[in-house]
């Protein structure tokens, strides 16, 4: 069994999209989302386009959802595409959307190529 995820993997892709991988954490917590934001701030200080992988995620906790919609996170996010391959992950993201929809454009996708294609319209725009 793998140890619990301490912080998501975050990197800037060649296409200008910041990738975030929560690596099968199960539950996205406030600590993980804050670690994501800290890693993104190390990449740059302007709003970013993000592609978030949520493999194995079945729940976003309330504090994490509220933080994702907070000014601190919103000020660093231009648009976001979330990739989830499971019905539970899809449900978790839909519940997040229902109660904590962020003000930036975002969508859920079943695969990375579709998400990256949609996100390209936001890369390089201010």
| Domains of the chain, residue spans | 9-121
Segment 60-84, tens digit of pLDDT? 888 988 898 899 999 999 999 989 8
Segment 88-104, tens digit of pLDDT? 777 777 777 776 778 89
d(CA 55, CA 83): 8
Does the predicted model carry a pTM greater than 0.75? yes
- Residue 123 is given by DSSP the state T
- Is domain 9-121 classified as CATH 3.40.50.10600? yes
Mean of the pLDDT values across residues 20-47? Answer: 93
Q: 2: pLDDT confidence band, cut at 50, 70 and 90?
A: low
**56-85 per-residue burial string, b: 16 or more CB within 10 A, e: under 16:** bbbbbbeebbebbeeeebeebbbbbbbbbe
């Amino acid at each position: 069994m793998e140890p619990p995820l301490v912080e998501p993997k975050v990197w800037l892709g060649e296409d200008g999209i910041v990738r975030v991988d929560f690596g099968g954490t199960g539950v996205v917590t406030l600590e993980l989302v804050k670690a994501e934001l800290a890693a993104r701030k190390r990449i740059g200080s302007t709003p970013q386009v993000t592609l978030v992988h949520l493999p194995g995620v079945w729940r976003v906790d309330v504090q994490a959802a509220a933080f994702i919609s907070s000014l601190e996170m919103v000020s660093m996010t231009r648009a976001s595409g979330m990739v989830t391959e499971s019905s539970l992950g899809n449900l978790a993201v839909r519940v997040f959307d229902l109660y904590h929809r962020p003000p930036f454009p975002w969508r859920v996708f079943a695969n990375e190529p579709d998400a990256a294609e949609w996100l390209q319209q936001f890369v390089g725009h201010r």
